[in-house]
Chains A and B, each alone.
Chain A
Amino acid sequence: MKKWLEPLASAWVGVVTHKLRSSLTILGIVIGVAAVIALMSIGRGAEASIISSIETLGSDLVFIRPGATSYGGVTGAAGSAASLTLEDAAAISEQVPYIASVAPFYATQLQIVVGAQNMRASVRGITPEYQQAYKLEMTGGAFISEHDYQRGARVAVLGSNVKETLFEGVDPLGQQVRMGSNVVRIIGVLESKGESMISPDDVIFIPLTTLQQMVAQPRTSSGERVVSVITLTVSEQEHASYVVDEITSLLRSRHQLGPGVDDDFNVTSMEEISTMLSETIGTMTLLLGAIAAISLLVGGIGVMNIMLVSVLERTREIGIRKALGARERDIWIQFLIEASFLTLAGGIIGVIVGWLVSYFVNNMGLMTTVVSADIVVLAVSVSVGIGLFFGFYPAWNASRLNPIEALRSE
Chain B
Amino acid sequence: MGKRELTVLRGISLNIEKGELVAIMGPSGSGKTTILNLVGCLDTPTAGNYYLEGREVSRLSSGELAQVRGQKVGFVFQTFNLLPRLSALANVDLGLRYSGGGDSRRAMEALDRVGLSDRANHRPTELSGGEQQRVAIARALAKNPPLILADEPTGNLDSRAGEEIISILTSLHSEQGITLVIVTHDANIAHRCQRIIHFKDGQVVAEEKI
Contact = CB atoms under 8 A, between A and B. Distances in A.
Given A1-B102, A330-B98, A404-B43, A325 B81 contact: no
B69 A325 contact: yes
Given A13-B85, A316-B81, A324 B95 contact: yes
Contacts, number: 64
A125 interface: no
Interface in A13-35: 13, 17
B70 interface: yes
A178 interface: no
B49 interface: no
Nearest to A7: B97
Contacts of A17: 85
B98 A328 contact: no
Nearest to B143: A325
A327 B67 contact: yes
Given A324-B94, A324-B139, A6 B69 contact: no
Chain B's interface size range is 20 to 34
Interface residues of A, number: 22
Nearest to A17: B85
Nearest to A323: B75
Highest count of chain A CB atoms <10 Å: which of B37, B67, B85? B85
B170 interface: no
Nearest to A5: B102
A263 to B, nearest CB: 75
B117 interface: no
B133 to A, nearest CB: 14
Contacts of A270: none
B120 interface: no
A324 B98 contact: yes
B71 interface: yes
Given A3-B101, A6-B97, A13-B85, A325 B42 contact: no
The 10 closest A-B pairs by CB, nearest first: A325-B70, A325-B98, A327-B66, A325-B69, A326-B98, A17-B85, A327-B63, A3-B101, A320-B81, A1-B102
20 contacts: A1-B101, A1-B102, A1-B104, A3-B101, A6-B97, A321-B98, A322-B42, A323-B75, A324-B75, A324-B99, A325-B69, A325-B70, A325-B71, A325-B98, A326-B66, A327-B98, A330-B98, A404-B43, A407-B77, A407-B81
